[in-house]
Amino acid sequence: MNENPHVRAQRLMAESAVEVLGKVEEAWLREHLADCVDCAREAATARELLHALRNAPVSVPRDLAARTQLRVRLRAQEVSEAANGSLWLWVVTAASWFLGVFSAPLVWKVFSWLGSSVGVPKLVLEIGFVLWWTVPALVAVGVVLQQRALNAGTKGI
C-alpha cells in the first residue's frame, strides 16, 4: 500500500515525538523534510510547541504529593477492609453450610418429634424445616445488601 508521502511524514513526526524511529524510517523522514518545505515547517512548529510545553511553568500546591499519598493510603485501606469483610463473610457462610448439613438430621428429628406430639401435618413440618434453613440465609442476604447500600451512600457524599 503506497502512502501519501506527506501523510507518512506526519505520522513519522508524531511517532518520533513519542518513541525512537527505526533507522530506515528516520532516514526517509530526514530526506523528506530536506526536500519538502511544508513538512519541514510543520516539523519545526511541532518542535517549538513541544519545547514550549516542556518549559512552561506549572504551579501546583505544595502539599499535592502529601494529599495524593494520603488519598492512596485511604483507598488502599478501604480495599483491604472490604477484602477482609468479604473473606469473613465467606468463612461464616462455609461454616453455616457445614453446620447445616451435619445438623439437618437432628433438626428433622426434633421437627418430627414436635409434629407427632402436637399433631402437626407432615406438609407443615416440611415447610417449617425448609424455613428453618432459609430464613437465616435471607436475613443474612438482607444485612449484606443493606450494608452495601450504606457503603455506596457514604461514598457518594
In this structure, the number of other CB atoms found within 10 A of the CB of residue 91 comes to 10
Q: How far is CA 144 from CA 89, 141, 150, in A?
A: 9, 5, 10
**Looking at the structure, do residues 84 and 123 belong to the same domain, yes or no?**
yes
In angstroms, the CA 76 to CA 147 distance is 20
Model confidence band, residue 154 (pLDDT cutoffs 50, 70, 90):
low
Share of the chain above pLDDT 90, in %: 14
- Mean pLDDT value across the chain: 84
Whether 26 and 35 have beta carbons less than 8 Å apart is answered as: no
Give the structural domain span for 36: 5-55
Write out the DSSP string of 67-84: HHHHHHHHHHHHHHHHHH
**Looking at the structure, do residues 42 and 82 belong to the same domain, yes or no?**
no
Note the pTM of the prediction, 2 decimals.
0.38
Give 5-19 pLDDT, tens digit per residue: 889 999 999 888 888
Whether 31 and 14 have beta carbons less than 8 Å apart is answered as: no
**Looking at the structure, do residues 48 and 84 belong to the same domain, yes or no?**
no
**Looking at the structure, do residues 105 and 78 belong to the same domain, yes or no?**
yes
**Which cell is 146 given?**
443493606
Residue 132 lies in a domain: yes
Helix axis angle for 5-18 and 23-35, nearest 10°, is 120
Write out the DSSP string of 129-144: HHHHHHHHHHHHHHHH
**Looking at the structure, do residues 98 and 150 belong to the same domain, yes or no?**
yes
3-state SS assignment for residue 92: helix
Residue 60 lies in a domain: no
